[in-house]
Amino acid sequence: MLRLFNTLGRKIRTFQPQGKERVTVFTCGPSVYQRAHIGNYRTFLFEDILVRYLEYAGYKVKRGLIFTDVEDKAVLEAARKKESLKQLTDKNIREFLGEMELLRMKIPDYLPRASESVNEAVEIIECLIERKTAYWHKHNVYFDPLKFPDFGKLFGLDMSKWPEKKRRFHKDTYPGIQWNLGDFILWHGYKEGETVYWDTRIGRGRPSWNIQDPCMISRYFDETLSIYCGGIDNLYRHHDYTLAILESLRPYPMAEFWLHCHHLYVNGQKMSKSKGNICYTDTLCREGYSMQEIRFFLIYAHYRESLNFSKKNMEAAVKKLREFKDLVNAIEGQAASKIPRDSVISRRIKKVFSDHMDDDLHVREAFEGLYKIVSGLDIPSLKESEASGIRKALGKIDEVLQVLF
């Protein structure tokens, strides 16, 4: 049975979906004020592997991915480029969806945008104000974490360190991996001269980043989500904010499992514009790597381990994949068009893959196990039907990995 590390509680648990066979997955999507880089895609590829393996295991999956197209950074970037917010974010969303397809990611069932969910955000804010977990201060609306029992339970926040003096944080996001010990913003009230706003029942303004996930989740799912996932940086502030908002409205947990993918580093340093080490997929393509090879490098390390991108590490992973594909091509050539036969070898291949993937999605160990079996075969001596059965088993596995065929 599939076992996953649940951030909520910090332990490996046997996965059981909320529905009998239907799995609901929602993931933090990209902030589309800029183009996504390979560090961003590492998280989305981990989520793609998760969804594909759930389907491989026989589950029906419904997934949503959120586009954050209204936030402080996007507003500032659009102004800097002298274009509308919609022009900026539409272009980045188109590029993101195009790269998803090139990286062989499944396109989620739901792709809501924050800009299309303003009415839902207003309804939630009105409800939170009525329940006194949120309040107006000047032109903004803030959420008071002290009004939510067990706030910070996802991160494991020590609430004894919460300051006695009232503090408010009015930005959508703050730099660094840290906690803002105070009230967080839900609604940016309009200020004179601003160009991005909506006229709503609660006045003119725009929803904060913090409320966008809850309003888009509630649009599609009434029940506890099977899995909610995103990048490890969102474990600071953002996901506990999302959880507190949604669970203040609903008398049941937001999600049964919380999964977080760790960072991608470049030569040991975090990827950032200030360091000048941002890397995009087309940069790697110009260096001779295929999108399949980029995908393989980004999924190869376990999602709960930091991954270091370097020329040496990239070359080592790609060499391993190319060697394995040569072996698979040889098996395919041996198989001819014979009806596949389920043999001891094909059953071993399927078992090795499932055993490692069931252990918290250990892609590296699964791939290494497959490599060991296949590289140990005397391929020319395989019977055609046996080779065909091996090819069929690997083809099914590659519906998850998407790197072999």
Per-position pLDDT tens, the chain of length 405 = 999 999 999 999 999 886 667 899 999 999 999 999 999 999 999 999 999 999 999 999 999 999 999 999 999 999 999 999 999 999 999 999 999 999 999 999 999 999 999 999 999 999 999 999 999 999 999 999 999 999 999 999 999 999 999 999 999 999 888 899 999 999 999 999 999 999 999 999 999 999 999 999 999 999 999 999 999 999 999 999 999 999 999 999 999 999 999 999 999 988 876 677 899 999 999 999 999 999 999 999 999 999 999 999 999 999 999 999 999 999 999 997 778 889 999 999 999 999 999 999 999 999 999 999 999 999 999 999 999 999 999 999 999 999 999
Regarding whether 298 and 154 lie in a shared domain, the answer is no
217 assigned to some structural domain: yes
Is the alpha carbon torsion for 122, 127, 130, 131 positive or negative? Answer: negative
**338 to 27, 335, 343, 385: CA distances (angstroms):** 42, 6, 14, 5
Q: Does residue 48 sit in the same domain as residue 127?
A: yes
Residue 114 belongs to some domain of the structure? yes
Alpha carbon of 377 to those of 346, 382, 390, 396: distances in Å? 12, 8, 11, 19
Is residue 212 located within the same domain as residue 71? Answer: yes
Q: Angle at Cα 253 formed by Cα 158 and Cα 221, nearest 5°? A: 135
Domain that holds residue 54: 13-261
- The answer for residues whose C-beta is within 8 angstroms of residue 267's C-beta and 6 or more apart is 277, 308, 309, 310
Q: How far is CA 374 from CA 12, 325, 377, 387, in A?
A: 30, 10, 5, 11
| Total count of domains within the chain | 2
β-bridge pairing 22-27 and 11-14 = unpaired
Structure tokens, 198: 């909506």
Asked whether residue 257 falls in the same domain as residue 315, the answer is: no
